Amino acid sequence: MKNKLLSGAFWMSFGSIFSRVLGILYIIAWLAMFHSPQQQYTAQALYNAAYTPYGLFLALGTSGFPTAISRKIAYYNSRKRYLDSKRLFKAGLLFMALSGLICGVVFFIFAPMIAKSSPIMDQAAATFVLRSLVPALMILPTMSIIRGWFQGHQDMKPFGVSQLIEQLIRVVAILVFTFVSFNVLKQGLTWAVALSTFAAFIGALGSLAYLGKYYRAQLPTYRANEAESLPASQLDIKGLFLEIVKEAVPFVFVGAGVTINQIIDQLTFKHLMLWASNYDMNYIQNMFTFFSANPTKITTIIISLATALSDTSLPILAGLVGNRQKIAQTLSDNFKLMITLLIPFVAILTVLAQEVNTIFFGYNWAAGQLMAASIMLSLILSFFLDVSTLIQALGKHRLAVILLSFSLLLKLALQAPLIWLFHEYGALLATTIAFASSLALGLWYLNRTYLTDRRANLSWLKPSLGIGIYVLGLGLLAKPLSLLSLGHGKVAALITCVIFGLVAGSYYLVIAYLFRFKDLLKSMNR
């Protein structure tokens, strides 16, 4: 079981993180094609204003149902009901194809209303860019159910590799489309951004082709399983789908939680800033870019790491129903990995936030400060998503929905007063307070219900102490970094990141050795 957790975490992390890394590396070349800083800010604002609601619709069309299907497949496979798994998978393909079609049509219809409420100066351009994402929205749900099939078989390799392939093809398409349309054909910024978002469809086609090839390669294994399977039961597909939809709704809602929070910012920030300040729309659009559009490119890597760990634990927990001791151990292993991997990563990025912002988006002191705040916030969001997924994997869907609902309601309640007091920082502070409160409640529930073994809980102390010392040390190293000024250019920022990254990495290896993180991985692999 633990070996599957580590192997699954590797492949999920490999695909998620490297695809996200590709997703931010291309930004340097992409933004350079738009020449002036204001054109870059506008392109980023347009791109993000389209991708945030697209992410919400994509979550509505993909996040819950494939996860629920993977849990059912894991359940059937653990009981050698492979024929039932196959039948459920085929029905799921049809369902998700219809889901993609419906989401695409609805997204196309509502695009003008979304554009009107977004902090974008040109609403017609925003509508055009939004609608360019419809083809991708139609095909991705089908691809997600295929990934759910592999996840249910606890085979995370195709999940991770397909993400990387999808992103690689998408990035190449973005750069080619933008260069040809904007720099060669002189079609204008709107067309360039619209083609950049359309590239998501090209990437999805490439990923789907890989998944189909991998599935065919695994057919002998699946057929061997089917030969040993118990006879197919008389599954009530309609009733089963109603049950799955009922189970999937919480996964859809919770899986879209971070995106819903971003939608709240997108739809309220402009109006609240106009009410709370005397800033013009150009300033408001730029601030939205600084605290939302730009940091999202970086924070998505952090959140994807947490998602990879929680998604790996999900099918394992689904097969441990009733075994409280193994459930507690899996939860403990999950949290230890989160602590030893995620917190140091976030700490390094926070210290280097100004330099990271300069490398990708150019030097801007205010943008760098907002980048640092957003990176710290992403740690809370990551742990919240992890805890919520674990709670759902244990069958406590209502609790997960309540926790997210509480977060979003508190976010809405705090949004106006905090933006009035702190402007763009107010939106980030409202999110921090809202999700930190629900995270604390979720951890309290898991600790009280499952992590009741005091000896097991004490095993947290050693890695947690080591990470605490590591973060404190990084804080002390941040001061010399601030004195090491090599200028405000991209090359200077890159050199600073490399130097500090090497120091921080070496420091982490020392801490890992002193606090025996290697023993932690060995104990999880037994």
pLDDT in tens, 339-397: 888 999 999 999 999 999 999 888 899 999 999 999 999 999 999 999 998 898 888 88
pLDDT in tens, 394-432: 888 899 999 999 999 999 999 999 999 999 999 999 999
pLDDT at position 336: 84
pLDDT in tens, 81-134: 888 788 888 888 888 888 889 989 999 999 999 998 888 888 899 999 999 999
pLDDT at position 516: 78
pLDDT at position 1: 47
pLDDT in tens, 439-488: 999 999 988 888 776 665 556 666 788 899 999 998 888 777 666 667 78
Average pLDDT over residues 231-236: 72
- pLDDT category at 318 given cuts 50, 70, 90 is low
271-278 own/partner pairs: CB under 8 Å, 24+ apart: 271/117, 272/415, 272/416, 272/419, 272/420, 273/119, 273/419, 273/423, 273/424, 275/420, 276/416, 276/419, 276/420, 276/423, 277/423
Q: Which range, of 193-207, 304-318, 399-413, averages the lowest pLDDT? A: 304-318
pLDDT in tens, 144-195: 888 888 877 777 778 778 888 888 999 999 999 999 999 899 888 999 999 9
- Which residue, among 400, 385, 416, has the nearest Cα to 258 in the 3D structure? 385
pLDDT in tens, 215-232: 898 888 888 887 887 887
Check if the beta carbon of residue 301 is closer than 8 Å to that of residue 24: yes
Q: Which two tokens stand for residue 59?
A: 């979550």
CB count in 10 Å sphere of residue 487: 12
pLDDT at position 92: 82
Please give the Cα distance from 64 to 51 (Å, whole number).
Answer: 19
> In this model, does residue 293 exceed pLDDT 90?
no
pLDDT at position 456: 56
Half-sphere CA count of 228, side-chain side, radius 13 A: 10
Taking phi over 0 as left and psi of -120 to 50 as alpha, with beta for the rest, 292 belongs to alpha
> In this model, does residue 62 exceed pLDDT 70?
no
pLDDT at position 16: 62
Q: Residue 118 has what DSSP assignment?
A: S
Share of the chain above pLDDT 90, in %: 38
Average pLDDT over residues 306-324: 70
> In this model, does residue 512 exceed pLDDT 50?
yes
pLDDT at position 521: 62
Q: Tell me the torsion sign for CA atoms 419, 422, 423, 425.
A: negative
Alpha-carbon 396 to chain mean position? 22
> In this model, does residue 523 exceed pLDDT 70?
no
- Containing structural domain, residue 427: 2-525
Please give the Cα distance from 296 to 420 (Å, whole number).
Answer: 23
Average pLDDT of the chain to the nearest whole number: 85
pLDDT at position 268: 93
Number of domains composing the chain: 1
pLDDT at position 63: 59
> In this model, does residue 5 exceed pLDDT 70?
no
Those residues with Cβ within 8 angstroms of residue 256's Cβ, 6 or more apart along the chain or in another chain:
55, 56, 59, 60, 63
> In this model, does residue 15 exceed pLDDT 90?
no
CA end-to-end distance (rounded Å), the chain: 9
Average pLDDT over residues 34-49: 86
Q: Which range, of 40-49, 218-227, 303-312, 454-463, averages the lowest pLDDT? A: 454-463
CB count in 10 Å sphere of residue 484: 12
> In this model, does residue 7 exceed pLDDT 70?
no
